[in-house]
Structure 1
Amino acid sequence: MDADGNGYLDEGDFEALTARWVGLRGWEPGSADYERMRAIMMGWWSAVAALSGAERADRVSLDELMNVVDQLPAMDDAVYATADAMFDAIDENGDDRIALTEHKQVVYAWKGSSDGIEEVFPQLDLNGDGQLSRSEFRDLWADFWRGNDPAAPSQWVFGRY
């Protein structure tokens, strides 16, 4: 997520994340989809900045970001709302399922690379049907951000790290 590689997250990194997302879908400024995605991403920047205990208001270190992650178990509504928005953005063809090709796009949007997704997607697809349902994705997303089991399939939501 650190788009400029300066070792911190800042507002510009969340603007870049938003730009990658809306660019994948061709959503133009002013469209409902663009504004929804921008509001979610920039809302997360505001939350991260406010909840992190950052020494500086304009940037957040990895340790400070982890302070926010530690608070996510008490933020069900925000975590699930983001999961639903991400699902809607990922589900390009609107079939209420996320296929491998669509999941590669989400990983690219978040990380700037989708390398290795072919190998980890089967770990995410717990029922083996070749796609992720909204329910599966919500659970994986929530457990990625709030879980603490390094062996859980949810740890691969963004691919290898």
Structure 2
Amino acid sequence: MSTAVANDRLVKRFEKWDTDGNGVLEAGDFQAEAARIAKNLGKQADSPEAQELVNAFQVLFEGLAERVGVSATGGISQDQFLATTKEMLFEEGEASFNRALGPVVNALVNVCDEDKDGHISPVEFSSWLTAVGVPDAEAGPLFAQVDANGDGRLSEDELLRVMREFHFGTLDVELLG
């Protein structure tokens, strides 16, 4: 794993989540990102799935804010974001990463899982990726890279693994756009 690749990916994540482009991450940025994803998946803003996604992103923001020592109404600078996410990824490891992103992945599964079977099918996966900005032509072929056990569906554990591997720089499938 290249720390340069991981750093580039975290910078990109910061820039993507800084939805208003003001150079700091705020609760409103996370709420806007969640609302955008839900809308792109055809969910009404007041639907239970969209609200769950917004709440999960809010919890993620609050956890990051607490870690860097700012209030839930404050802002997280890029340097603070990079320092705390690198600490979570490279020093604290899988359990810390899963605690932070697990609720977001759970909410994403719920918002994407049209047949409500608790897993993501290839079609649902493609919808998810296009909703977060991956071109449709690229979304379909990525499923096979992500479906580690080859059962034709993705569990939350598989999706968390992919997010970790992406941020570690060992896989090029970006689930958060």
Q: TM-score, normalised by structure 2?
A: 0.64
4+ residue runs over 6 A deviation: none
- 2:130–2:139: 8 Å Cα contact kept in structure 1? no
Measured on the aligned residues, the alpha-carbon RMSD in Å equals 3.1
Question: Against the structure 1 CA distance between its residues 87 and 7, is the aligned structure 2 distance closer, same or farther, given a 3 Å change threshold?
Answer: same
In 2, are the aligned partners of 1:108 and 1:114 still within 8 Å (CA)? Answer: yes
Among 135, 143, 147, the alignment partner of 1:121 is 143
Indicate whether 1:68 and 2:88 are aligned: no
Secondary structure at 2:120's aligned position in 1?
A: strand
Cα offset, 1:144, TM superposition = 4.1
How is 1:31-50 mapped onto 2 (pairs within 5 angstroms)? 31-50=47-66
TM-aligned CA distance change 1:92 to 1:62, over 3 Å: farther
Letter in 2 for 1:15: Q
Report the equivalent of 2:120.
98
Structure 1 or 2: more helix by fraction: 2
Report the Cα offset of residue 61 of structure 1: 3.2
Are 1:124 and 1:157, in contact at CA under 8 Å, matched by a contact in 2? no
Query: Contact 1:51–1:68 at 8 Å: present in 2 too?
Result: yes
Question: What SS class does the counterpart of residue 97 from structure 1 fall into?
Answer: coil
In the TM superposition, residue 65 of structure 1 has moved relative to its aligned partner by 1.4
Normalised to the residue count of structure 1, the TM-score between the two structures is: 0.69
Instruction: Report Cα offsets for 1:71-92 as digits up to 9, x if no partner.
Output: 2635343433332222222212
Amino acid at match of 1:92: E
Q: Return the letter of the residue paired with 2:116.
A: G
- Per the alignment, residue 131 of structure 1 pairs with 153
* Equivalent residue letter for 2:120: I
- CA distance in structure 2 between the aligned counterparts of 1:49 and 1:38, rounded to whole angstroms: 16
Contact 2:60 2:101 (8 Å CA) reproduced = no
Contact 1:144-1:157 within 8 A present in 2 as well = no
CA contact (8 A) 1:80 1:138 kept: yes
The offset of 1:60, in angstroms, is 2.5
Count of aligned positions: 150
Distance 2:42 2:84 in 1: 29
Structure 1 position 10 matched with structure 2 position 26: yes
| Alignment pair present for 1:82 and 2:83 | no
AA aligned opposite 1:8: V
Per the alignment, residue 173 of structure 2 pairs with: 156
Counterpart AA for 1:156:
V
- For structure 1, the 5+ residue unaligned runs are none
| Counterpart Cα distance in 2 of 1:42 and 1:27 | 18
Identity of aligned residues (%): 25
